Amino acid sequence: MKVLVFGKTGQVATELSYHKQVTCLARGQADLRNPQICAEIIAETDADIIINAAAYTAVDNAEEEENLATLINGVAVADMANAAATRNIPFLHISTDYVFDGSGTRPWTPNDPVAPLGAYGRSKLVGERGVTAAGGPHAILRTSWVFSAQGNNFVKTMLRLGADRDTLNIVNDQIGCPTSAADIADALMKIAQLFHKGQGRSGIYHFSSDPAVSWAGFATEVFKQSELDIKVTGIPASDYPTPAKRPSNSRMDCSDIEAAFGISRPDWRKSLTNILKELGVVRDEKT
């Protein structure tokens, strides 16, 4: 099985690159700001599976750059999906819980009504609809609160801030499911294998870790495992305004992906331990 991945340096793309069946394309090789080039690559590839792990992810900047975000997250994705559908190549695409409005407390299901709060979510929704409309074999994987040892993410921010502070105020009224990039990559590769065997089921799926937690709770666990004596004080999101409004409820119902592909939800606390070991923050007992 040959897997072609759009994206190389992002969190999920980096984790995908560790799989031997995978070839990753950097921005210089396939820039989603030029959808036609990306579609042409798919038209000529000998890959069995396409995974799009490239995206415009600057949530706050998207409020001022919605056209660019939509070009990358929407128009390019639709063109790529159409190119894959023409050749009947399964197209796997990563999306986000930001397509929902974040209301309530019930976990979001793939069939729930979408209503993005901001430009980033709107741009990702354009991409989702483009993949579905293309009509080829596909899986759209909505995930949330991605973290890893690479790139910029909440865990690395907490470690940086915790290095020179003894107290931190962290939002506690936004609830979600932290999900490691490695777990997302593993889920995508399992889906890819099943599609390659002719056992894939096209659709939209949710994949995130368990249990749900607030950002303050997430931070507390980061400091606990890192053995940093940091006092975390929970604050409302209204005390930490951002250009883009974040969903208050990012809980996700992942029962469909388990039924379709046998993929169960990992415990993000165990994934966090692995990442802290990778960063050298926690000692690996094997070494």
Q: Which residues are catalytic?
A: 120
**Cα angle, residue 198 at apex, residues 14 and 137 outer, rounded to 5°:** 65
**Conformation bin of residue 146: beta by default, left when phi > 0, alpha when psi is -120 to 50:** beta
Cα(210)–Cα(254) distance, rounded to whole angstroms?
Answer: 10
Cα(47)–Cα(33) distance, rounded to whole angstroms?
Answer: 22
β-pair type (213-214, 175-176): antiparallel
* Whether the Cβ atoms of residue 252 and residue 213 lie closer than 8 Å to each other: no
Q: How many helices (H) and strands (E) does the chain have?
A: 10, 12
